[in-house]
Amino acid sequence: MNDVLDLLSTLGLGGIAVGMALEALGVPFFPGGIMIILAGFLINQGRLEFYPALTAAFLGYTLGSTSAYLIGKNIGEPFFRRYGRYLGVLPEHFHQARVLPASSVGLLVLLGRLIPGIGNITPYLAGLANLEAGHFIIYNSFFGLAWGALYLSIGMFFGHNWPVIMNLIRPRLVGIGILGILLAVVVYAVKQRRKFHHQ
C-alpha cells in the first residue's frame, strides 16, 4: 500500500490529471476512482493539498470527457463500429443515443457515470445524441467537481482510519478476492452473451 502511495506522490498533480483523463475516456480497467481515493490518502498524510488535487482531477476529467464527447459528436458511429468493442459500446447504444430527448441526455451526463455498464461511455453517448456543447460542459463540469471532491473526501476519511479498517478487512481478504474474481467472470460472461446475440 505504501509503495502505491509513494508512486502516486511521485507522479504528483500531473499524474492525477493524466489518470483522470484516462478514466474519463473510458479506458477499460483503469482504476481512476481508486486513484483519486488514494490521492485523498496523501492529502490526509500532508503530502498533497486538497484544492490543487481537486483542480488537477477536474482538469484531467474535463479533458478526457470532452475528448470523448467530441469523438461521439464528430466521428460517431464509424469510430464505434471499429473501436467500440474495446470500450463496451454496443450497436444498440447508437440507436438509444439517437432517440434520447435532450433532458434525458443531460441526466445521462450527470448520473450515467454511476450506472454499471455505461458509466465509462456516457460522454461518447452524449456526443452521439448531439447534446449541445454548452449543456455538456455545464453538466459535465458539475459532475466532475462533485465526483472529484467526494472521492478525495472518501480517501481523506479512510486514510485517517486506515489502520482500523485494515484490521477489519485483513481476515476477509481471501473471500473478498474470490468474490471479486467471480464477479469479473459473471460480467465477462454477460458481455460475451450480448455480443453473441448481436452477431
Alpha helical stretches, state H, the chain? 2-24, 32-44, 50-74, 77-87, 91-99, 102-111, 122-128, 133-160, 162-169, 173-198
Q: What pLDDT sits at residue 198?
A: 55
In this predicted structure, what is the pLDDT of residue 187?
A: 72
Per-residue pLDDT tens listing for the chain (199 residues): 566 677 777 888 999 999 899 888 877 767 778 888 889 988 988 899 999 999 999 999 999 999 989 988 888 777 777 777 776 666 666 666 665 655 576 777 777 777 766 667 788 888 887 888 898 899 899 999 998 999 999 888 887 666 665 565 566 656 667 777 887 777 777 766 766 655 5
Which of helix, strand or coil describes residue 27? coil
pLDDT for 146 equals: 92
| pTM assigned to the model | 0.72
* Burial of 39 from C-beta contacts in 10 A (0-12 / 13-18 / 19+): buried
Give pLDDT, residue 99. Answer: 59
162, 3, 144, 55 alpha-carbon torsion, rounded to 10°: 110
pLDDT at 107: 73
